[in-house]
A and B are shown apart, each in its own frame.
Chain A
Amino acid sequence: DSGVTQTPKHLITATGQRVTLRCSPRSGDLSVYWYQQSLDQGLQFLIQYYNGEERAKGNILERFSAQQFPDLHSELNLSSLELGDSALYFCASSVGRGGSGNTIYFGEGSWLTVV
């Protein structure tokens, strides 16, 4: 158990809908990362927050947004869902913003199926 908690574990929804994925980082970790994993693309970095502020942005679509709250939990909002958004969404956390010694731990993922 990495200590990173994600909910829900599984989610099935229809195209055009909106969903919210939730993540609680490990105790003491200030950074939260979101990754998308699909069969054809592997693990893709979406976005990082550090202590409530956006730190880095990767291949995140405009239909997706995220935030980190004062209690450091984070939410990833996915809207106008398309079939191609079906994937495993991972949250990860670390103590620091990045750099040496910054070990990143992953949660178990939220499996999203868009039908």
Chain B
Amino acid sequence: QKEVEQDPGPLSVPEGAIVSLNCTYSNSAFQYFMWYRQYSRKGPELLMYTYSSGNKEDGRFTAQVDKSSKYISLFIRDSQPSDSATYLCAMFSDRGSTLGRLYFGRGTQLTVWP
């Protein structure tokens, strides 16, 4: 079992739709959760950074973490064609031998069509 599981999609939605992206993980030691956006052949760009369970909102983006279910989500409201990219979840633990090492999902490819 991989540490982090993410449906690769592809996901295609019309402009203005609400997009839901999800990851599950197996290591209960993970405490810090991130979402990166990656445009084709570009470096991943950090979108959201959250700690432990709860919600965090930033503009049209909302990140949710449910540690009891080992499940994290990213919601994009009023999606735009410029949101078309691959979205990668990532997480790490603050303790143990894997301190600071980021574990990534495979990424979900999103297309928002006008």
Question: Interface on A for B, CB 8 Å cutoff?
Answer: 2, 4, 31, 33, 42-43, 45, 48, 55-56, 58, 88, 90, 94, 96-100, 102-109, 111
Contact = CB atoms under 8 A, between A and B. Distances in A.
6 contacts: A2-B43, A4-B43, A42-B105, A98-B92, A108-B42, A109-B43
Contacts of A90: 43-44
A45 B4 CA distance: 13
Given A48-B100, A56-B99, A98-B101, 20 more contacts: A2-B45, A4-B43, A42-B88, A42-B104, A42-B107, A43-B44, A43-B88, A43-B104, A45-B102, A45-B104, A48-B101, A56-B101, A90-B43, A94-B100, A97-B100, A98-B100, A100-B94, A105-B46, A108-B42, A111-B41
Given A43-B88, A109-B41, A109-B43, A99 B106 contact: no
B113 interface: no
Interface of B: 31-32, 36, 41-46, 49, 51, 88, 92, 94, 98-107
B30 to A, nearest CB: 12
A64 B92 CA distance: 24
Contacts of A108: 42-43
Contact of A56 (B31, B42, B46, B100): B100
